[in-house]
Amino acid sequence: MHTFRLAITGDFLNEHGQSAYGDLGFGAIESCPFIDIDYIMDHAPRINDSSYWDQLYSMELKPAHLRDRDGLIVLRPYIRASAFAEGVRENLTIIGRSGAGYDKIDVKACTDNDILLFNLPNVLNHSTASTALMFILALAKKLLPSDQITRQGRWDLQPQVMGMEIEHKTLGIIGLGASGRELVRLIAPFNMRVIAYSPHADPVQAASLGVELTSLETLMRDSDVISVHSNLTPDKHHMIRAEHLALMKPTAYFVNVARGALVDQAALVKVLQERRIAGAGLDVFEVEPLPANDPLIALDNVVLTPHFSPATSDVWIAGGLQMSKCILQAARGIVPNNVINNTVLDRPGFQAKLARFVENQKVAVS
């Protein structure tokens, strides 16, 4: 038996060192006889340390966190090339990203250091799409203003909170990947015209879904509701800029459940402040957590959630089960599913590191 030393970033935990999110789905790896788990407590919150939450999305992994580890499960921290110093790259074999996005991880550095990176590409598809649908309906039906006047007893303001129907309107989806396609499925009963900007989408598949592929400019101009589902790569930073937002209808809504940096947030704030669009629903922001003095917070035509709406208890369990399965594969010397950097598979250094754990295939796991 060859022990597989697994580190897990501490942002899975609460102030008392317990899971912050209920059942993480890690039971299979926690009970595995050849996996030794250690949480990185530098990334865990501490009692009465409010500053932790200001750093939640800016934390990063250092060599000291990864030294003498064979595997890593990472939730939020950055992983830059500097993390793979001497004492790390010799042993670290795999990194599992607990989620779909991996824009905070230096993929090239992983490959160069013979480290396999995998993610959970499908676990959030439905929950991300249903979050987008939640925003779309809440905005169109003016849910928050209606709630406010009801609590205030201002029934005389009913005419001011009349919403719109999305039926027969045009939905524009930016990024026709898995969650974008799931939104197409969810929106079907509303009989919307669906258009999409997604340069790498398969035209045949799009047509089979009843989606018309178009340019970004046309989408911004024609849509009554825009929903962003694109992944974030360096070339997509501020993909949606002031000139694109200027094309939107004054009655249109903008939803982003992907990544904040895809949008020039200052430009979005401006069109919202000037009421040049009807409103927005945002789960993601350029700076996270959203600063307390951010102008978005003062706006009454925006629905804001803390980059967490898709992360339901069901998703945590499903994601943990998938993660555990992949970790168990690697801890037995088997290439796990959902590899991001496939070129690492041909590197002798990676092959040698993974081969250390083949003998664990002989060990029974309950």
Catalytic residue annotation: 259, 288, 307
Going by pLDDT thresholds of 50, 70 and 90, the confidence category of residue 191 is: very high
Q: What letter would DSSP give residue 225? A: E
Distance in angstroms (rounded) separating the CA atoms of residues 31 and 230: 37
pLDDT tens string 4-58: 999 999 999 999 999 999 999 999 999 999 999 999 999 999 999 989 999 999 9
∠ CA 199-205-206, rounded to 5°: 60
Q: Is the pLDDT of residue 176 over 80?
A: yes
Query: Given this model, what pLDDT does residue 365 score?
Result: 82
Query: Given this model, what pLDDT does residue 147 score?
Result: 97
DSSP-assigned letters across all residues of 240-291:
B-HHHHTTS-TT-EEEE-S-GGGB-HHHHHHHHHTTSSSEEEES--SSSSPP
Residue % of the chain over a pLDDT of 70: 100
**Cβ proximity of 123 and 102 under 8 Å:** no
Give the residue from 334, 330, 348, 316 showing the smallest Cα distance to 99.
316
Q: What letter would DSSP give residue 208? A: H
Tell me what the mean pLDDT of segment 236-242 comes to.
98
Query: Given this model, what pLDDT does residue 114 score?
Result: 98
**Cβ proximity of 104 and 83 under 8 Å:** no
Distance in angstroms (rounded) separating the CA atoms of residues 32 and 117: 22
Tell me what the mean pLDDT of segment 78-89 comes to.
97
Distance in angstroms (rounded) separating the CA atoms of residues 63 and 68: 10
